[in-house]
């Protein structure tokens, strides 16, 4: 999916506009001169100018035209510099830690690891699925449209609990299960054929997903996400080997950043997603024989109690350096 609304795409459009404007003027003048001074046209000998290379005619001057010749290009170049610097200001900003969702991305040979520095609890939109999950304290409650759902499967940490049957008359299901904020937990509500109708998930701090296991990175929408990125070897048996360089690329947001081995502080990148969905992750730096395996997916979801805005036409993206230091 093309990143049409990222700050980089907008900057490209602005540069393209001014390039076309300058091109029309330049080529227009060139073709006019070609027609006017083409072979066979009798030259105007009324004024014979003393011509020197790199200067206007010595014998005749048009001061306004000469000033315009230098001032206009200078103004255009200055304006393009202002556009570029304003874009840098927009993307080289680290959001407030209290307002951002922090992630650690580790590139290995040849897969990605997504570590959560902040917890995330999310579920599918109840208004779309007709199902709502509430798991707090010692009780798990599922409310659904009668006759829609059949079973509720529950995963808590490393344990898969016995499924709970949904009452077909009321559409409700209840289970006495204690919620643990320090363990990964997932609830899937399925129909009679086993198809998943609704998902609720809690991802605790320090939990790790891996693309090597086919797991997606899950991020909240409408919230700035800060990535701290490192390149590390998959095998620690050789202390002299520090890994290879990768480049974490999110095509949907038009951003990528290198993961440089040996940099203790890592590199940083930020995005803000506004549309729910599943989008690709790629490695934009050749990193070895299985570079093509450095792929993954990011799933944008609504954090519990929030909704994703759809088709707002606003995507913010960029790169930001670590606080107190550059790369």
Mean pLDDT of 35-50: 68
Distance, in Å, from the CA atom of 304 to the CA atom of 311, rounded to the nearest integer, reads 20
Put residue 27 in one of left, alpha, beta given phi > 0 → left and psi -120 to 50 → alpha. Answer: alpha
Mean pLDDT of 233-243: 87
Closest CA relative to residue 153, chosen from 180, 121, 177, 118: 177
Kindly tell me if the per-residue pLDDT of 316 is higher than 50: no
Q: Report pLDDT for 322.
A: 35
Kindly tell me if the per-residue pLDDT of 71 is higher than 50: yes
Distance, in Å, from the CA atom of 271 to the CA atom of 279, rounded to the nearest integer, reads 13
Kindly tell me if the per-residue pLDDT of 265 is higher than 50: yes
Kindly tell me if the per-residue pLDDT of 310 is higher than 80: no
Top pLDDT among 92 and 325 is at: 92
Q: Report pLDDT for 319.
A: 36
Q: How many CB atoms lie within 10 A of CB 33?
A: 10
Number of residues assigned to the chain: 327
Residue 2's pLDDT band, with cuts at 50, 70 and 90, is: very low
The mean of the pLDDT values for the chain is: 85
Q: Report pLDDT for 201.
A: 97
Kindly tell me if the per-residue pLDDT of 7 is higher than 80: no
Residue 272's pLDDT band, with cuts at 50, 70 and 90, is: confident
Q: Report pLDDT for 236.
A: 83
Q: Report pLDDT for 58.
A: 63
In the chain the domains, ranked by start, together with CATH numbers, are 7-91 (no CATH), 96-118+205-327 (2.60.40.420), 120-204 (2.60.40.3080)
Closest CA relative to residue 276, chosen from 313, 302, 306, 314: 302
Q: Report pLDDT for 64.
A: 83
What pLDDT, in 10s, does the model give residues 138-187? 999 999 999 999 999 999 999 999 999 999 999 999 999 999 999 999 99
Q: Report pLDDT for 3.
A: 55
Residue 325's pLDDT band, with cuts at 50, 70 and 90, is: very low
Kindly tell me if the per-residue pLDDT of 324 is higher than 60: no
Q: Report pLDDT for 318.
A: 37
Q: Report pLDDT for 306.
A: 84
């Amino acid at each position: 999916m093309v990143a049409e609304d990222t700050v980089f795409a907008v900057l490209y459009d602005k540069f393209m506009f001014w390039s076309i404007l300058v091109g029309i003027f330049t080529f227009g003048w060139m073709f006019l001169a070609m027609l006017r001074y083409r072979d066979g046209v009798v030259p105007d000998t009324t004024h014979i100018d003393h011509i020197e290379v790199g200067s206007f005619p010595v014998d005749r001057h048009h001061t306004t035209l000469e000033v315009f010749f230098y001032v206009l290009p200078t103004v255009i170049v200055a304006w393009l510099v202002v556009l570029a610097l304003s874009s840098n200001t927009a993307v080289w900003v680290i959001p407030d830690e209290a307002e951002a969702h922090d992630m650690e991305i580790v590139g290995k040979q040849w897969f990605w690891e997504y570590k959560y520095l902040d917890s995330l609890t999310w579920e599918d939109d109840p208004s779309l699925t007709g199902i709502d999950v509430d798991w707090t304290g010692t009780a798990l409650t599922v409310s659904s449209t009668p006759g829609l759902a059949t079973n509720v499967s529950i995963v808590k940490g490393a344990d898969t609990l016995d499924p709970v049957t949904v009452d077909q008359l009321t559409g409700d299901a209840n289970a006495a299960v204690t919620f643990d904020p320090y363990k990964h937990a997932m609830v899937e509500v399925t129909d009679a054929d086993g198809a998943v109708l609704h998902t609720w998930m809690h991802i605790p701090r320090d939990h790790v997903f891996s693309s090597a296991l086919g797991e997606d990175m899950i991020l909240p929408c409408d919230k700035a996400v800060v990535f701290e990125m490192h390149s590390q070897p998959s095998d620690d048996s050789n202390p002299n080997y520090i890994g290879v360089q990768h480049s974490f690329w999110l095509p949907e947001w038009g951003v990528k950043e290198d993961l440089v081995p040996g940099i203790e502080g890592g590199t940083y990148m930020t995005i803000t997603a506004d549309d729910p969905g599943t989008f690709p992750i790629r490695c934009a730096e050749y990193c070895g024989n299985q570079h093509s395996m450095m792929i993954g997916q990011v799933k944008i979801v609504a954090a519990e109690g929030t909704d994703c805005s759809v088709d707002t036409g606003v995507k913010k993206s960029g790169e930001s350096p670590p606080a107190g230091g550059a790369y």
